[in-house]
Structure 1
């Protein structure tokens, strides 16, 4: 474990419980002078002390992890990049250095989160002003403009590190009680629907809007799209069982998430039901043991549990039970145009919120190699390195002329966890030169020499030099008169 200085967080823990230094030192069986050194960042917080804090106060040790610090650093850098010239960052007369950002994120995380929240409200206010300027009604009154529902739900899962313990535990109990077998869960789930709820499962050729599941409560009928594989059928039945048997818990979790409206809460219930379904088909303990035994070989796990590549990747990103953690993964699904339709993170990797992803990322290279898993060791501008694996998944439209779906699905982890993955074999994990330099996107990436840069970072002046062009956004046409003379 590297040296971790968490003095401010330790003081905050003490203040929250109304304890003096002497009282906290006594509770943790430490000397008062040693605790004072910890709080003043003169000594690093060690694993034994963390375990004592967990045992005495029941505090999750992730609260003292540097994963949260990395998320805050990335968010603060985006805030500074998004500020106009003259308001912080470059061009303001006093730039905020990366060292100062790190100090704020590490020492005062609550302040950092407050700044991020204020910036989000600032951007929402700008959007309302822009809408007001385009208002043609003459009333000049705009309703509040909350964040989009899917963004709220995404942030809810992100705040929980993509692990919903209540649903995971319930799903594991149900899987044991109902006798679900790996690769054959669909049989037991169909039986559960029929016996416990009087619901028959039938195949249907033409469901509306390319839906995969339609539930008719009054008729006691669950229609599944024809052509689904066994794992897909199991997932759809498990999702319906989540609504039938865990409805109250889904509602409680959605209501307690602090979401802004009914649409966001409804979307949260769907996301939570899908989470329960994945946990039911791939029970936590059995799946984690299988994943560790297979060194996280996604295809092997898919064959063992009868599910697809994307389902395995998504489930791997949720294995963060405090008593039995798997590798903390990030999961992403993107199309050819760069639209991110799914993104989940169990750790510090922070997906950019201000547009664009990096074309050097292997999630795009996977489209050129369909059917193959494409590994990549990638390094971010802050020096952190990651191992990513990506593969294209596709789904037929169901008939001639019907558009299908095609996505690149990627799973990534911090380089320190890479040796646990089968995909690290043969890769130069310790060689910095072997890593591909990528970024969060051109708007926030400071790699000036990147050959794929599309435009300069936000807030940075464009270097315009007739004799030495560092950046040309588009070819400059010849003057009209010169063209005429030629």
Structure 2
């Protein structure tokens, strides 16, 4: 049964932005004012006919009313409310799924503010624990900095990892880049012609990219792979060509700290660099033609495996959408260093990822692509591919950087994916979760620790794979 579409706050915001009264808007939509009022207050869902009328009256794409953003917000709220249910709320149970859905539908701004408050609580809690540890050892400890990365990740997360202004500008500039030769040389020429920047290659320099504004010299590490050097050139080109667009996006984001703004500036320039190297329509058409074969795409566009994966997760332009993918990069300690999702797939905001997710197995089979049919606790199924990559340091005395990459989409898109060949989409799937701390599965034998919202007991005369037994979920829980 399809989920009902409640559009209240979004519709009210659109109407007020255009200065329309309720009566004037209702007339444009062919509805009665009372019916429109009920939709705006979420007393009634929007029908397909109403949705079509909205797209025509407001001249917008129907995807604006997509529920995927709400699903991500609900999942993040669930983790946050579960996290604080015990120690902060006096033992009160966290809200049910229905209550969280109501909160997101009726008060989305309040939901976002709650997440920001929870983030501040987590940071403060970590500082207190660090101070506790320092005092306990009777040593002077370094101040624990409030890292801005989570704020920047959320900025991209709630935009479906798509920034239209930069994407379209980069696509226009990419039309001036010749595609019949080495992309690195083409970017070198464009930097020189457009901005008077000379590119030099220095063997073994510590920085991947170093730009001197005074001399207008861009230095690249000659020992890095060509795809890495090209990306750094594209990053520099994006910074210089789209500076006003980038600063405008930063102003609208209104980050809380200068550090977060600085991190986001780099992230936006990286986004634009990816859009330059892999221009939207040309790349989307190629991805469809190649059934998203990453190796073929990286060879065709002269980029890396990771750059293709990252770009595939951004193809969410209204009216010209690609397959909705999630993308993650994980280090050998299990830390998620990149995470983007245009799907319902959720990543843990705190703590480690599910150990049953095939991204962890990728380190054991270097340079091989592993394919997994995975099922989340909500019943959604994904085709997940994983591969390890190594980024050379250029020296025996310095460690190479090793990561595992994961790219996935829901099984309904299997026909568009070369990696689905031979998979039994209706057969058994790996039962993965977000993370142990909030996973509701009571029968998982791979648990690192119990979930925060579930009572447990430890049998005295019996020992299973884990030394405790979890109580089952309440009927109205997730």
TM-score (norm 2): 0.86
Residue 194 of structure 1 aligns with which residue?
Answer: 192
Kindly indicate whether the alpha-carbon contact (under 8 Å) linking 1:25 and 1:32 is maintained by their aligned counterparts in 2. yes
Deviation at 1:151, TM superposition (A): 1.6
Q: 1:35 to 1:145 in 2, by over 3 A?
A: farther
**1:256 aligns to what SS in structure 2?**
helix
* 1:27-106 pair list within 5 angstroms: 27-30=28-31, 45-59=46-60, 61-85=62-86, 92=92, 96-106=95-105
Per-residue CA deviations over 1:156-208 (Å, capped at 9, x if unaligned) read: 111221111111111111111x2331663222211122223332222211212
Contact between 1:3 and 1:44, CA under 8 Å: does it hold in 2?
A: no
Aligned equivalents of 1:7, 1:332: Cα separation in 2: 30
Give matches, 1:63-212, under 5 Å: 63-85=64-86, 92=92, 96-106=95-105, 108-127=107-126, 147-176=146-175, 178-181=176-179, 184-208=182-206, 211-212=207-208
**In 2, Cα distance between the equivalents of 1:5 and 1:151?**
30
Is residue 2:314 matched to residue 1:318? yes
Structure 1: runs of 5+ lacking an equivalent: 137-143, 475-486
Match of 1:456?
450
Deviation, 1:230, is 3.4
1:397 aligns with 2:393: yes
* Equivalent residues, number: 460
Assess if the C-alpha contact under 8 Å between 2:238 and 2:272 holds in 1.
yes
- Confirm whether residue 247 of structure 1 aligns to residue 246 of structure 2: no
Larger Rg belongs to: 1
Q: 1:415–1:147: structure 2 CA closer, same or farther, 3 Å change rule? A: farther
Which runs of 5 or more structure 2 residues have no equivalent in the other structure? 136-142, 469-478
Match of 2:429 among 435, 441, 450: 435
Give yes or no for contact 1:5–1:38 (8 Å, CA) kept in 2.
Answer: no
Give the SS at the match of 2:211: strand
Contact 1:366–1:390 (Cα < 8 Å) also in 2: yes
> Contact between 2:7 and 2:39, CA under 8 Å: does it hold in 1?
yes
Deviation for aligned residue 1:10? 6.3
Q: For 1:128 and 1:58, how far apart are their aligned partners in 2?
A: 48
Residue pair 1:207, 1:214 contacting (<8 A) in 2 also: no
1:279 is aligned to 275
Cα shift readout 1:38-57 (whole Å, capped 9, x = no counterpart)? 56878753445334323322
> Is residue 178–residue 186 contact of structure 2 (8 Å, CA) maintained in 1?
yes
Deviates more, 1:14-23 or 1:239-248: 14-23
Contact 1:6 1:45 in 2 (8 A): yes
- Look up the SS of the partner of 1:296 in the other structure: coil
Change (3 A) 1:85 1:222: closer
Deviation at 1:309, TM superposition (A): 0.6
**Given the alignment of the two structures, is residue 265 of structure 1 paired with residue 247 of structure 2, yes or no?**
no
1:301 maps to: 297
Q: CA RMSD in A?
A: 3.0
Deviation at 1:421, TM superposition (A): 1.3
